[in-house]
């Protein structure tokens, strides 16, 4: 191919000027993106001939050798008509007896006229139209060269602020991503790498290209999802919110119109991630992180797309088996107005202290089956999750104390069988321990659960007061120990006093450390 890419060191502020100067010559061009395009044979009609050769080989409309030859010749001839007049060489200008003349040195070519540039655009657009729903047949290296050459010509021929440039780039991306059929080459990994190069080569300094960059990201994610290559999606999704803020589609400075475009892009990608969670379970957590980050930057003004994103986040957290922190979600203003009224009610039940499965059943019995099914929510799983939250809420107020099985059963709203002997309660406690909600010791003989640690359902004023009370009790216990040691020092002899003094110093040091820990808490 007549064009290759290499890293654009000049596009990064940390690069030295000397390193970037190594790429500055008549055959190397950077268009403001993260790549350089090195034109090995910068002759336009030869470049078009190379593009036409790949397209003719791939297109079903040029199935015979004669058709392919005619196709290539047609485009090459048109390309020659769009080129400036042939440059004059020193060999042509010098007298015949001038032995010092260098026939290979070019004086220079005439610049392109506006008409010639327009003709080149039309020619490139015709080639792009011929690629519609055509799977490019090429080896990996040739496929990359084809894509790089095509993009380099687009960047050199169009103004990046022109709407036609964005349209042409998206057509090229569609052609590169099109992978219907069973042809082995190019490989999918080469397609993804090439699409990434297209994204990286787009200018970064012109804000007019930001919308195009977002569209390319969407197409890359969609292409990977269609082939179930969800690992390709993962790094893109992790960076998406930062890109949206950088491009002006999210954040405080984004306009309403730009925010809506950003919301639409996130909604499309979230839809693809939902389909992938059975294949790659960890994508569910990545999807949650994306939604939380994006809705944290949401505008106070709400619109339909933002409401749909809020519903997706609520449903996702309700579905995740190990997600129990609903208080953090409740603090997001965007979640106050989800598109689904049923999901808003469910979130209130899971956040509200003291709510039980009876409150949940009232919502589930109010004709919400269709909405629950649409968001892939299982009523039985919701009941189990709410029971575990009720259990940890009960235990959080009894840390350091035993909780009777009967009291746990009452909080869970479960009825023990006559010969159960507390097994059902123990199973619920074990599930809560596995979920990391509580810690403690089951005492089957006494039918109690000794709580050593429990996560509060919400951490509000009451929880802060309870924490303060426990810390004061802890400090009082330490004061009692110190007082006992002091009394022991007063009644002992000198030999024993020395040892008691060491104990006192150790206790005082422990108290000082504990007080620092209290302050940290």
Q: What is the pLDDT of residues 36-75, one digit of tens each?
A: 555 555 788 999 999 999 999 999 888 899 999 999 999 9
User: Lowest-pLDDT range, 92-96, 358-362, 426-430?
Assistant: 92-96
- If DSSP states are collapsed to H, E and C, what string results for 472-511? HHHHHHHHHHHHHHHHHHHHCCHHHHHHHHHHHHHHHHHH
| Domain span including residue 68 | 1-84+112-203
Average pLDDT rounded to a whole number, residues 177-198: 82
* pLDDT score of 466 more than 80: no
Residue 195 inside a domain? The answer is yes
Strand order across the beta sheet in which 3-7 lies: 3-7, 35-39, 28-29
Count the domains in the chain: 2
For residues 338 and 346, what is the distance between their CA atoms, to the nearest angstrom? 11
Residue 11 inside a domain? The answer is yes
Q: Decide which of 203, 220, 248 is a domain's last residue.
A: 203
Greatest mean pLDDT among 97-111, 329-343, 409-423 lies in 329-343
Q: Decide which of 203, 222, 239 is a domain's last residue.
A: 203
Residue 246 inside a domain? The answer is no
In sequence order, the 6+-apart residues with CB closer than 8 A to the CB of 116 are 82, 83, 84
Which percentage of the chain shows pLDDT scores above 70? Answer: 78
Quote the tokens at residue 27: 């055959």
SS3 179: coil
B/e letters for 380-417, b = 16+ CB within 10 Å, e = fewer, are eebbbbbbbbbbbbbbbeebeeebebeebbebbeeeee
Which percentage of the chain shows pLDDT scores above 90? Answer: 42
Q: Where are the alpha helices (H) located in 248-303, listed in sequence order?
A: 256-276, 283-296
Residue 480 inside a domain? The answer is yes
* pLDDT score of 490 more than 70: yes
HSE-CB of 489 using CA atoms within 13 angstroms: 14
Residue 372 inside a domain? The answer is no
For residues 374 and 146, what is the distance between their CA atoms, to the nearest angstrom? 43
* pLDDT score of 520 more than 50: no
Residue 161 inside a domain? The answer is yes
Q: In the predicted model, what is the mean pLDDT of the chain?
A: 81
Residue 498 has a CB neighbour count (10 Å cut-off) of 11
pLDDT at 28: 39
Whether residue 186 is preceded by a cis peptide bond, meaning omega within 30 degrees of 0, is yes
pLDDT band per the 50, 70, 90 thresholds, residue 4 = very low
Beta carbons of 273 and 237 less than 8 angstroms apart: yes
Higher-confidence residue of 334 and 26: namely 334
Maximum separation of any 2 CA atoms in the chain, in Å: 124
Greatest mean pLDDT among 175-184, 259-268, 417-426 lies in 259-268
Residue 283 inside a domain? The answer is no
Angstrom distances, CA of residue 271 to CA of 2, 235, 275, 316, 475: 39, 17, 7, 12, 53
Residue 93: closest CA among 83, 103, 79: 103
pLDDT at 102: 42
pLDDT at 407: 92
For residues 224 and 210, what is the distance between their CA atoms, to the nearest angstrom? 21
pLDDT at 328: 80
Full-model pTM: 0.75
Residue 499 inside a domain? The answer is yes
Average pLDDT rounded to a whole number, residues 505-520: 48
- According to DSSP, residue 35 is labeled E
* pLDDT score of 417 more than 80: no
* pLDDT score of 379 more than 70: yes
Q: Decide which of 182, 203, 224 is a domain's last residue.
A: 203
Residue 234 has a CB neighbour count (10 Å cut-off) of 16
Q: Which region holds residue 248: left if phi is over 0, alpha if psi is between -120 and 50, else beta?
A: left
pLDDT band per the 50, 70, 90 thresholds, residue 303 = confident
Quote the tokens at residue 243: 């890109």
């Amino acid at each position: 191919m007549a064009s290759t890419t290499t890293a654009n060191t000049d596009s990064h502020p940390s690069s030295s000027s000397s390193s970037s100067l190594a790429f500055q010559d008549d055959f190397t061009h950077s268009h403001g993106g993260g790549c350089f395009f090195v034109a090995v044979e910068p002759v336009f009609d030869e470049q078009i001939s190379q593009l036409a050769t790949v397209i003719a080989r791939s297109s079903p409309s040029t199935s015979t050798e004669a058709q392919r030859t005619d196709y290539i010749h047609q485009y090459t001839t048109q390309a020659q008509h769009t080129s400036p007049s042939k440059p004059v060489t020193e060999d042509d200008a010098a007298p015949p007896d001038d032995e010092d003349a260098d026939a290979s040195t070019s004086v220079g070519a005439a610049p392109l006229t506006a008409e010639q540039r327009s003709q080149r655009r039309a020619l490139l657009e015709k080639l792009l139209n011929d690629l519609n729903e055509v799977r490019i047949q090429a080896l990996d290296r040739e496929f990359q060269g084809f894509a790089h050459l095509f993009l380099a010509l687009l960047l050199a021929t169009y103004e990046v602020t022109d709407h036609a440039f964005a349209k042409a780039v998206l057509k090229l991306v569609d052609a590169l991503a099109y992978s219907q059929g069973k042809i082995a080459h190019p490989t999918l990994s080469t397609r993804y790498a090439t699409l990434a190069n297209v994204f990286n080569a787009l200018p970064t300094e012109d804000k007019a290209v930001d919308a195009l960059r977002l569209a390319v990201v969407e197409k890359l994610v969609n292409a990977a999802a269609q082939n179930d290559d969800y690992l390709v999606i993962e790094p893109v999704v992790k960076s998406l919110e930062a890109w949206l803020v950088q491009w002006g589609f999210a954040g405080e400075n984004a306009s309403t119109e730009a925010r809506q475009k950003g919301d639409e892009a996130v909604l499309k990608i979230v839809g693809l991630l939902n389909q992938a969670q059975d294949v790659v379970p960890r994508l569910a957590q990545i999807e949650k992180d994306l939604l939380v980050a994006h809705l944290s930057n949401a505008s106070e003004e709400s619109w339909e797309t933002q409401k749909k994103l809020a519903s997706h986040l609520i449903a996702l957290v309700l579905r995740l088996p190990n997600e129990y922190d609903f208080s953090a979600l409740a603090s997001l203003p965007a979640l106050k107005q989800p598109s689904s009224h049923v999901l808003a009610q469910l979130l209130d039940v899971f956040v509200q202290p003291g709510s039980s499965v009876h409150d949940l059943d009232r919502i589930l019995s109010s004709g919400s089956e269709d909405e629950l099914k649409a968001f892939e929510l299982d009523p039985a799983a919701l009941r189990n999750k709410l029971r575990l939250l009720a259990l940890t809420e009960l235990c959080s107020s009894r840390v350091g104390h035993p909780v009777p099985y009967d009291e746990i059963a009452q909080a869970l709203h479960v009825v023990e069988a006559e010969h159960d002997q507390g097994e059902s309660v123990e199973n619920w406690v074990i599930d809560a321990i596995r979920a990391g909600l509580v810690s403690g010791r089951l005492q089957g003989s006494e039918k109690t659960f000794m709580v050593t640690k429990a996560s509060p359902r919400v951490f509000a004023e009451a929880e802060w007061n309870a924490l303060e009370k426990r810390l004061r009790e802890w400090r009082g216990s330490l004061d009692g120990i110190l007082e006992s040691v002091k009394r022991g020092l007063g009644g002992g002899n000198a030999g024993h006093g020395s040892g008691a003094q060491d104990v006192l110093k150790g206790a005082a040091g422990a108290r000082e450390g504990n007080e620092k820990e209290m302050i940290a808490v």
